[in-house]
Structure 1
Amino acid sequence: MHEALAYLPQILPAYLAYLVAVVSPGPAIMAIVSTSMTQGRRAGMTISLGIFGGSLTWATAAALGLATLLQAYAMALEVLKVLGGLYLLYLAIKALRAARSHDEMAATAATKSASFKSLVLRGYGIHVTNPKAIFAWLAIITLGMPRGAPASVAFLIIGGCMMMGFITFMAYAAIFSTPHALKIYRGMRRWIEGAMAGFYGFAGIKLLTSSL
């Protein structure tokens, strides 16, 4: 590990690139925000664990060089892209139904029915079915790990990024599950759910129609 610390000048820009990416709004962050506001802090942190697991999966794949293998098999990426796009559209439909519901109690009850397992799997599914994530991780690994660097550098990059990601995800869950945030949600429930439906729908269509 001491040898890896000599590469800090290259590793720090990789950390910065990841930090910018992880705090930027995207399907994963929006899932944490919406879940925290509708179901509370515990649910928000639970779905964060799934998203964290998805991020770790792609980080490990990039470090092991699986991105190159996936690029060679374009069909695998196409399948992931379609699955990810369809899943986002499914979330958009769910949010749209909640937005159209006039019964706030019924809408709230529906969102609170999710179990720990289903929330973790939902978070993991959102992140791991996004094939663009592995290329983002590949760029981060490449940025911080110059040719000839020891494997310990990759572990240092992934470890630092995962720590920042975990803190960021949990912070989003904590902030958007506060009483003030919940009050805002109750007053603007239909607008917020409508906005989430639009976001997920846009992200899903964009993923389905984009080229990798």
Structure 2
Amino acid sequence: MLDPFSLFMIGLSFFVVAVTPGPANISNAIIAMRRGRKVSLIYGAGLSFGLVFWGVIAASGMGAILQSSVYLLMLLKVFGGLYLLRLAYLSGKSAFNPQVEDINDPSNIPTAKKWFIRGFILNISNPKTVIAWLAALSVGLDAGDDIHALIAGVLVCVFVGFSVNAMYSLVFSFTGVMNIYQRISRWINGIASALFAVAGIGLIRSAFNRSPV
């Protein structure tokens, strides 16, 4: 079994990666500001389960296989890049056609299931997430550690992932933050669109690099 310090280091390493603003966190923050806390928490849960998916891949040893499988990794990266470009298009559309939405109007809000699936798809569409898992787990695990140590490390990362997504949902859904978003939504969506586009193009370009990572 891992000692508390090793678990802490695994959790800290994963926290640094998880809290860094990226496509998932940016999209969650915008949904929190635009749609409110409840929707964002559901979307964040989808993101978190997407992280769990890659955690299982990494812990089972499939992560190394995936990294060495050029064509499978290429396919996943292209899919992920296209999904990010779709987010760029939707954010850009919102930037050019800003609308003040009534978040209490059910007709404006897709079902909870759809929000969850959107978050889940976003995180499973980025195969580079498995690298973050492998890096975090390697901080506290040694070659001689048993399956119980591996499970403990994965559970710590899962807890950190859920906590970070919930934190984004809570922080960006405060009334004051939402009011600011309504005033400058055009700029926020425009910047988000550019970031999604850069990330999507970068992921697609990396799919055709010789390096598997």
Indicate the SS of the match to 2:136.
Answer: helix
Q: 1:37 to 1:162 in 2, by over 3 A?
A: same
Give ranges in structure 2 of 5+ residues lacking alignment.
none
Q: What is the one-letter code of the residue matched to 1:86?
A: L
- 1:183 is matched with 179
CA distance in 2: counterparts of 1:103 and 1:49, whole angstroms = 26
Q: Say whether 1:208 aligns with 2:171.
A: no
Q: Say whether 1:138 aligns with 2:96.
A: no
Indicate the SS of the match to 1:95.
Answer: helix
Identity over aligned pairs, percent: 29
CA distance in 2: counterparts of 1:75 and 1:164, whole angstroms = 31
Matched residue pairs, number? 208
- Give the structure-1-normalised TM-score: 0.91
Taking the TM superposition and a 5 Å limit, the aligned residue runs for 1:32-181 are 32-105=28-101, 112-181=108-177
Give ranges in structure 1 of 5+ residues lacking alignment.
none
CA distance in 1: counterparts of 2:146 and 2:157, whole angstroms = 18
Aligned-residue offset at 1:74: 1.3
- Give the structure-2-normalised TM-score: 0.90
Aligned-residue offset at 1:9: 3.9
Aligned-residue offset at 1:103: 4.2
- 1:25 is matched with 21
- 1:14 is matched with 10
Deviations 1:126-145 (A, max 9, x none): 11111110111112222221
Indicate the SS of the match to 1:148.
Answer: coil
Deviations 1:145-180 (A, max 9, x none): 101101111111111121122122111101111110
CA distance in 1: counterparts of 2:54 and 2:99, whole angstroms = 40
Deviations 1:8-45 (A, max 9, x none): 44333222110111111011111110110111101110
Q: Is the 8 A contact 2:10 2:156 kept in 1?
A: no
CA distance in 2: counterparts of 1:134 and 1:117, whole angstroms = 25
CA distance in 2: counterparts of 1:109 and 1:188, whole angstroms = 22
